[in-house]
């Protein structure tokens, strides 16, 4: 299913510039789309508007053809993972995943079976009885993914999900995310300020600068034809490190 946003606008202050100043793009069905841009560009706000965690001043969010602009967050069918995603420290890894299912009325036996399946999918079979605090950052973030996938989201929204981890673990989790995406085929939006990460993981990129879409397209298109000088400057690091 595709994610379409039309002319989204959000302002937090009366006098300052808007955080999101008329953002439109389509994130294709079944692809990973990265929302890329420097800090303060409005990336998180756009993701939160799509999730329904934030209300737009204007504009529309359309998921799989349904206009969900006025639909509450829990009815949008979106799964959310962000940096430093909070797990329940007093529950085991398995119970953390079971929790989300029980809240949605899934009977306990079924919830446990589904949690075991999900922990297998995120390669944490052997860790189900541990506490989150006994895991290092990478596996802990994989528990967060399992908990999010437990509710069968129609769209996966990731806000710097590997942001708190060091470079080696980020790379590893990036490769893991690509495998998970191959298996699930979920339409995924990934917010990141890290150009190499965006170019390595996404099939489609939306670059935000100052609350507006500076350019959208495939990594190859952006590398070959940056829209203007500002975009070229922002992408220069990538061109140097990753020749097309
Ligand atoms: P990014 O994710 O690209 O770093 P954000 O969407 O977090 O950017 O923020 C865009 C702008 O909006 C920033 O100037 C930020 O300070 C401001 N902003 C974001 N959320 C709030 C909020 N809840 N209240 C006030 N200002 C906010």
231: CA distance to ligand 1 center in Å?
A: 21
Q: Is 24 exposed, middle or buried (0-12, 13-18, 19+ CB in 10 A)?
A: middle
**What CA–CA distance (Å, rounded) separates 61 from 134?**
39
Mapped onto helix, strand or coil, the DSSP state of residue 25 is strand
- Indicate whether residue 137 lines ligand 1 (CB < 6 A): no
Condensed to tens digits (0 to 9), the pLDDT of residues 93-121 reads 999 999 988 988 899 999 999 999 999 98
Structural domains in the chain, CATH included, are 1-77+153-244 (3.40.50.300), 86-152 (no CATH)
For residue 39, give the ligand 1 atom closest to its CA. 4
The response to whether residue 148 sits with its C-beta less than 6 Å from ligand 1 reads no
Query: Atom of ligand 1 at shortest distance to CA of 20?
Result: 10
15: left (phi over 0), alpha (psi -120 to 50) or beta: alpha
**What are the distances in angstroms from CA 121 to CA 28, 168, 171, 188, 238?**
24, 22, 19, 17, 32
Encode pLDDT of 65-84 as tens digits: 999 999 999 899 999 998 87
Kind and range of the H or E run holding 205: strand 204-209
- Any idea what the Cα angle at residue 151 is, between residues 145 and 153, rounded to 5°? 80
Nearest CA to ligand 1 atom 7: 44
User: What's the average model confidence in pLDDT over 164-170?
Assistant: 83
| β-strand partners of 213 | 208
Residue 17 Cβ < 6 Å to ligand 1: no
- Ligand 1 geometric centre to CA of 205 (Å): 20
Burial zone of 75 (CB within 10 Å; 0-12 exposed, 13-18 middle, 19+ buried):
exposed
Q: Three-class SS string for 72-126?
A: CHHHCCEEEEECCCCCCCCCCHHHHHHHHHHHCCCCHHHHHHHHHHHHHHCCCHH
Tell me if 43 CB under 6 Å of ligand 1.
yes
Say what the pLDDT of residue 108 is. 95
Q: Are 5 and 49 in contact (CB under 8 A)?
A: yes
Mean pLDDT of all residues belonging to the chain: 91
User: Given pLDDT bands bounded at 50, 70 and 90, which one contains residue 237?
Assistant: low
- Could you tell me the pTM of the whole model? 0.91
Question: Taking the CA of residue 109 as centre, how many other CA atoms within 13 Å lie in the half-sphere pointing to its CB?
Answer: 0
Q: How far is the CA of 84 from the centre of ligand 1 (A)?
A: 18
């Amino acid at each position: 299913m595709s994610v379409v946003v039309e002319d989204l606008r959000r302002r937090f202050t009366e006098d300052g510039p808007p955080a999101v100043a008329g953002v439109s793009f389509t994130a294709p069905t079944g692809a990973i789309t990265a929302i890329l841009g420097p800090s303060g560009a409005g990336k998180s706000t756009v993701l939160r508007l799509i999730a329904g965690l934030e209300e737009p001043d204007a504009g529309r969010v359309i998921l799989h053809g349904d206009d969900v602009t006025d639909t509450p967050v829990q009815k949008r069918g979106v799964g959310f993972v962000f940096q430093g995603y909070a797990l329940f420290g007093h529950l085991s890894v398995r119970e953390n995943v079971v929790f989300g299912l029980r809240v949605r009325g899934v009977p306990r036996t079924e919830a446990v079976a589904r949690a075991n399946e999900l922990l297998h999918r995120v390669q944490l079979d052997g860790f189900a009885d541990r506490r989150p605090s006994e895991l290092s950052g990478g596996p802990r973030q994989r528990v967060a993914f399992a908990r999010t996938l437990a509710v069968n989201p129609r769209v996966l929204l990731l806000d710097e999900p590997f942001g708190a981890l060091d470079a080696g673990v980020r790379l590893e989790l990036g490769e893991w995310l690509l495998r998970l995406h191959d298996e699930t085929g979920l339409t995924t939006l990934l917010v990141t300020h890290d150009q190499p990460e965006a170019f390595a993981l996404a099939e489609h990129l939306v670059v935000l600068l100052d609350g507006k879409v500076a350019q959208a397209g495939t990594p190859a298109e952006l590398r070959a034809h940056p829209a203007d000088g500002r975009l070229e400057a922002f992408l220069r690091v990538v061109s140097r490190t990753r020749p097309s």
